[in-house]
Structures are given as C-alpha cells and as structure tokens.
Structure 1
Amino acid sequence: MSTLTNDDGAMLQLPATLAAGCAESYGWTEEFTARAITGYRQFMKLKLNLEDWDATQLAPSAAVEEVWQQHILYTTHYAKACKDYTGGHTMEHHPEVGLDNNNEAESTNKTERIKTTQLGMKSLFGRNKMDAEIWALDSVGDGEQQNIYKSKKRRRLEA
C-alpha cells in the first residue's frame, strides 16, 4: 500500500492550526477532524500521482472538500506546501464545478471525476484504508448526508 509521502519521502505540510480551524469552522469533533485531514492527505497524494494540477480528473468528498478549502485560506502556506510536495506545481481547486444542476455536461463531469477518485483511492490505498464516512462520495450534494459536513456559517445562512 502507498504511503502519504511524495517520491522524496515528504508529506504534504499542513498549518499547525488547520485542525483547530476545521473543528471550529465546521463544528467537527477532534476525532472526525483527524479523519478528515487524513482523507485530505490521501486525496492530495492521489492528485500528485495522477498529476491532477488543474483539478480536471478528481473530485473530493464533502469532508475532504471542507479541509481543502480551509487549507487554501492559508494562501502563502498552501502555495508553498503544494510546490514543495509536487515539485513545483500548485494544486488548483474549482469548488464551483458540478454545482450547477441545470448544466448536464458539468454534472456529468463531476460524476466522472467522483468515479475516478473512488477507483484511484481504492487502487492507491486499498478499500481498508478508505474511511467510509469521510469518503462517502455518493453523498456529495445529497441533502441530509451533506448537512453533516456543512460549516456552522453555512448552516446559519440557510436557517
């Protein structure tokens, strides 16, 4: 099974306060936050292996998406961490892709990216290393399950 390191043996560096930021922003427990961050590291490792720098091949789960967005808030750190981990590339993020339910091509693309991610995760890490709750890709965008991952701020806005 693959480790979470790059070819040089380095892990993706994360800000020391990322876990606290996720827990606070999303109302997650410490245990769930740690699992979501592991899922994020797995996703970034898969992106590295597939060289998905422009975010056209893979799609994260809802929990991984939240960690990714939190990491991006540390803009300088994120840019440096990506470049150090990938050998000079920034991993682009396009959270808007797949959100337009009226755009069939965009929705199909998101579905294909989710399938590619599921297959890649199983191949790279094995089914045993995939946290079912964190990698519930089939629930991305589905009502009640999606609410688990919404930030406190988003929940307040929707109320």
Structure 2
Amino acid sequence: MSYENSDIGPPPDPVLEVPPPKDIKILESADDIQQRRTEVLDHYVQFRDFAKTKRDRLEEARQFQYFKRDADELEIWIFRKITDSCESFRDPTNLQAKIQKHEAFVAEVQAHSNAITKLDKTGNDMIQHGHYEKETIRKRLDRLHELWTDYFRCLIIKELNYNKH
C-alpha cells in the first residue's frame, strides 16, 4: 500500500530487531530501565495513534461507500421515473387510466422525497465533518438535486397535459 498520497503517513517503524548477544546491554540502573520503558511506551502511543487514524479513515470510506450506493439507487430510480413519465403521456389513448396512474405516480414520488432528504442530510453531515471526499459528495448532491428538479418539472408538464384533456 502506498502512503505517498495519504494524510496518515506510513506506520511507525517496528522495533523488532534483536541485537546480537554481545551488544545486548543489561539494564542495571533505574534510569536505564525508566528510559527503556519510556521508549517502549512512546512506540506504543505512536502505534495506537496510527491505528486510530487508520480506523477513522476506514470508517469514512465505509460511510462514503454507503452514500454512493444510496445516491446511485436514487439516481437510477429518478432516471426510470423520468423515462416512464415522459413516455406515457405521448400516447393519447386511454387517458383516464393514465391520469389514475399519474396520481399513483405522484404519491410514489412523495413517498420517495424522504430519500433525497435523508441523503442530503447524510452528505452534508459528512461534508461538515471534513470528509476526505467532500468535493465528490457535494457534486453528487448537486447532481441529484438537478435530477430531482428535472423530474418534478416533468411531472408538472405531464399534469398540465392531462388537465388540458
């Protein structure tokens, strides 16, 4: 794994080298023992900090993947509905059934409106907490809002066309 582009940097160097027996010094004084204890504790603190940073970064990545999954699902749903919505009113036959279908369609949209609200809240929370993908999250939210607006525009046009007939 490359740590060049990472904010957390490389892990601390392990102290696993065992010196040859003749170089091993016996810690005789309390100062020697205290100094070695301090070194070991410092290495442990570095390791613990690195592990926490790594764990936090992995948690952010997990949150981002869930956000992307939910955004993809909502985007696909909106595209399907836009396509279905725009196609159905081109054929003027059986207008009454289409009007009823449109009313059910509007109810489904209102039920799905909480999905974009929830996704918006999740994305904005991630941005406010300084998520490492905050620019991507912002762009994705903007794109979803554009699609949602286009979808509502399509619904309004469809409703106006049904009301004409």
Normalising by the smaller structure, the TM-score range is under 0.3
- Structure (1/2) with the larger helix percentage: 2
Q: Provide TM-score, normalisation by structure 1.
A: 0.27
Q: Provide TM-score, normalisation by structure 2.
A: 0.26
Of structures 1 and 2, the larger Rg is shown by 2
Give the number of the structure with larger relative contact order, counting CA–CA contacts within 8 Å between residues 6 or more apart.
1
